[in-house]
A and B are shown apart, each in its own frame.
Chain A
């Protein structure tokens, strides 16, 4: 398994963040795991990495329903960033709304990044499967 440099979790639910961190750290090797409460904070941070030529996270776990800036808004802004590396974005949600599936299809086709749609709960196997370099 290829070692992953940086992983980012964007979710407003502290329990989910705790769980994801625990799962990732016990099954995947990585340098750092960063987490952000909503899309806005995450986007600001990543934009800052890009501007200052710091490492962009290779895998992003993204929640959809968040205050201030939700997952779709984050995606919209993120794919506009001129990041040439192929980033893996794992959408993690408990939503079964067909609208969200449609949105995913839309962004998946629009971007060169790898975008996956995952429904909660996420178990250890799932984490191993989706926590890889794109």
Chain B
């Protein structure tokens, strides 16, 4: 017997059911539908009554046939979630359920199919999937991974990016223990452990922790970790956080720091002064050598200062002008010799260069200055020049001396040969004796000449002459003592105005000879109409002790004889004792002690000699 569902006034009740509902008979025909169902699946209010369910949903028939057959046997099964386009063209999602339809005699006469609208739920899920996808993509691009830790069941979740940063396989199951283990031992592991502890116990979040991990493949990596507790109904249930790969960035930063250090080490240890100035000529960088030159300990003391604060106004103005020229023309100044004077008066010679610093538009934004201190070199150069001068003077002297020697010896030998020639052919005995006495005289002259030359040579060749500190006053007193008969015989007096404590540096024997010579000369060439008066005085000036010897004697015409005054065998007065060797020897002795001599004289009035003794000896 076919059980026919009762179709009576109950149909009206069915129509009012709030959810879309359909009653089908065991032949799968739709017997009755709720209005809700009708409004969804029927366009023209036409009812589907007695239409086959499979006719209405042709695509689903096969699946459902079995499900419905089971239902008819009293075993209802879920029919799944299906998408439907409603009469208005709107996309709807329904979850289909069924239940056997019993008649009053508890016989199954069909099935009741009921739909619940889950469109919103499905849409939410799609949205979630989309967000999930977006997050994942974002994570992949930015290399910022996520993690979540569930305190309640002690489970740790890593997103795929977090896993890839750790270089673990996608199916790796992290937990708190192995997660911590990936952090590098020491600072990194301690810091993350502390952060986790503080988060769990005090609810503190952490961010921007720069730490190092050792990945599963053993690579060291810099990461940035952040995390914060999450709460459910006021109770902490877990932690969520980010995990970012910042290795390249940190490496780049470290490299930059290394490069800066390298540059700093380099410029600080260069044996030249290096500085960088901005467009206003204010110092923005100075190296150690420049600091030392300016006498400061910390570069900060001069950063921001211009030359106007470090040098005199004129020097700063000149330097500023040069800076501007370099920046305007973009043409560097290379290896220019300059002399800089700091405000405390220290003078330094530099070989300096100024090079414009260009930005990427090719405009100057400052200059870099490099100065090499060449003061010592300059000093050496000066010394060298001095030595060359001395050498050339010595050379000249030597040549002069060679000529003198040659001349003197030749003149004596010429005399000898001439006299011997005469002697050979002379018959007269008286004349013979005369010639022999001439020969004796010539021989004596030669001996004297040799003595003089010997003396000159010994002065000029004795390199280790011993210079001593001598009291000049006492020395003069001694010399006057020795010369006293000569002085008084010549009706002269000596006035010693040298301070009693006046000391000079000289070779004692030379000093003796020098004073004796000058005093003797002053007395010897006194004016015949008056008594001789010789005044000695002394002073110290510019590295020299100066002895002045002033007389009131004959005087010398310096215009005429000035050049020859200290020459060998030059005499200027018609005086029987004049040999022309004294002043020559004196001059040699003064030269040998690195001194000098100056003379001023007026004919008929007197002469003043100034002897300079070098204090540096």
Contact A67 B571 (CB under 8 A): yes
Answer whether residue B377 sits at the interface, using C-beta atoms and an 8 A cutoff: no
Which chain B residues border A94 with CB–CB below 8 Å?
Answer: 406-408, 410-411, 414
Contact B410 A96 (CB under 8 A): yes
Which chain A residues border B419 with CB–CB below 8 Å?
Answer: 15, 19
Partner of A15, one of B442, B569, B573: B442
Known: A67-B571, A67-B578, A97-B403. Contact between A123 and B421, CB under 8 A? yes
Taken together as a complex, chains A and B put the C-alpha atoms of A15 and B443 apart, in Å, by 11
Contact B438 A15 (CB under 8 A): yes
Contact A121 B572 (CB under 8 A): no
Interface residues of B, count at CB 8 A: 26
Answer whether residue B415 sits at the interface, using C-beta atoms and an 8 A cutoff: yes
Which chain A residues border B403 with CB–CB below 8 Å?
Answer: 95-97
Answer whether residue B570 sits at the interface, using C-beta atoms and an 8 A cutoff: yes
Interface string of A105-124 (1 = CB under 8 A from B): 00000000000000011110
Taken together as a complex, chains A and B put the C-alpha atoms of A18 and B434 apart, in Å, by 10
Which chain A residues border B442 with CB–CB below 8 Å?
Answer: 15
Known: A15-B419, A121-B417, A122-B418. Contact between A68 and B573, CB under 8 A? yes
Interface string of B561-586 (1 = CB under 8 A from A): 00000000111111000101000000
Q: Which residue of B lies closest to A95 (CB)?
A: B407
Q: Which residue of B lies closest to A92 (CB)?
A: B414
Contact B415 A19 (CB under 8 A): yes
Contact A22 B411 (CB under 8 A): no
Taken together as a complex, chains A and B put the C-alpha atoms of A97 and B411 apart, in Å, by 13
Which chain A residues border B571 with CB–CB below 8 Å?
Answer: 67-68
Partner of B422, one of A13, A16, A22, A96: A22
Q: Which residue of B lies closest to A18 (CB)?
A: B438
B414-455 residues with Cβ-Cβ distance < 8 A to A are: 414-415, 417-419, 421-422, 438, 441-442, 445
Interface string of A1-41 (1 = CB under 8 A from B): 00000000000011110110011000000000000001010
Answer whether residue A65 sits at the interface, using C-beta atoms and an 8 A cutoff: yes
Q: Which residue of A lies closest to B408 (CB)?
A: A94
Which chain B residues border A68 with CB–CB below 8 Å?
Answer: 571-574
Contact B574 A16 (CB under 8 A): no
- Within the complex, what minimum Cβ distance (angstroms) separates B397 from chain A? 14
Contact A121 B407 (CB under 8 A): no
A76-120 residues with Cβ-Cβ distance < 8 A to B are: 93-97, 120
Contact B415 A13 (CB under 8 A): yes
Taken together as a complex, chains A and B put the C-alpha atoms of A59 and B569 apart, in Å, by 27
Taken together as a complex, chains A and B put the C-alpha atoms of A11 and B423 apart, in Å, by 22
Partner of A67, one of B421, B445, B580: B580
Which chain A residues border B578 with CB–CB below 8 Å?
Answer: 67
Contact A96 B418 (CB under 8 A): no
Taken together as a complex, chains A and B put the C-alpha atoms of A63 and B131 apart, in Å, by 126
Taken together as a complex, chains A and B put the C-alpha atoms of A120 and B411 apart, in Å, by 7
Partner of A65, one of B413, B418, B438, B569: B569
Taken together as a complex, chains A and B put the C-alpha atoms of A22 and B425 apart, in Å, by 12
- Within the complex, what minimum Cβ distance (angstroms) separates A42 from chain B? 13
B530-571 residues with Cβ-Cβ distance < 8 A to A are: 569-571
Q: Which residue of A lies closest to B441 (CB)?
A: A15
Which chain A residues border B414 with CB–CB below 8 Å?
Answer: 16, 94, 120-122
- Within the complex, what minimum Cβ distance (angstroms) separates B416 from chain A? 9
Taken together as a complex, chains A and B put the C-alpha atoms of A55 and B441 apart, in Å, by 34
Which chain B residues border A38 with CB–CB below 8 Å?
Answer: 574
Which chain B residues border A18 with CB–CB below 8 Å?
Answer: 438
Which chain A residues border B407 with CB–CB below 8 Å?
Answer: 65, 93-97
Taken together as a complex, chains A and B put the C-alpha atoms of A47 and B413 apart, in Å, by 34
Contact A120 B410 (CB under 8 A): yes
Which chain A residues border B411 with CB–CB below 8 Å?
Answer: 13, 16, 94, 120
Contact A67 B418 (CB under 8 A): no
Which chain B residues border A122 with CB–CB below 8 Å?
Answer: 414, 418
- Within the complex, what minimum Cβ distance (angstroms) separates B377 from chain A? 38
Interface string of B299-339 (1 = CB under 8 A from A): 00000000000000000000000000000000000000000
Which chain B residues border A67 with CB–CB below 8 Å?
Answer: 569-572, 574, 578, 580
- Within the complex, what minimum Cβ distance (angstroms) separates B399 from chain A? 9
- Within the complex, what minimum Cβ distance (angstroms) separates A38 from chain B? 8
Which chain A residues border B408 with CB–CB below 8 Å?
Answer: 94
Known: A16-B415, A97-B406. 11 other contacts (CB 8 A): A15-B419, A40-B574, A67-B574, A67-B578, A68-B572, A95-B406, A96-B407, A96-B410, A97-B403, A120-B415, A123-B418
List the 8 closest pairs (A to B, CB-CB), nearest first.
A120-B414, A67-B571, A94-B410, A94-B411, A121-B414, A97-B403, A19-B418, A15-B415
Q: Can you list 27 contacts pairing A with B, beta carbon distance less than 8 Å?
A: A14-B441, A15-B438, A15-B442, A16-B411, A16-B415, A18-B438, A19-B418, A19-B422, A38-B574, A65-B407, A68-B571, A68-B574, A94-B406, A94-B410, A94-B414, A95-B403, A95-B407, A96-B403, A96-B406, A97-B403, A120-B410, A120-B411, A121-B413, A121-B415, A121-B417, A121-B418, A123-B418
A binding-site residues for B, Cβ under 8 Å:
13-16, 18-19, 22-23, 38, 40, 65, 67-68, 93-97, 120-123
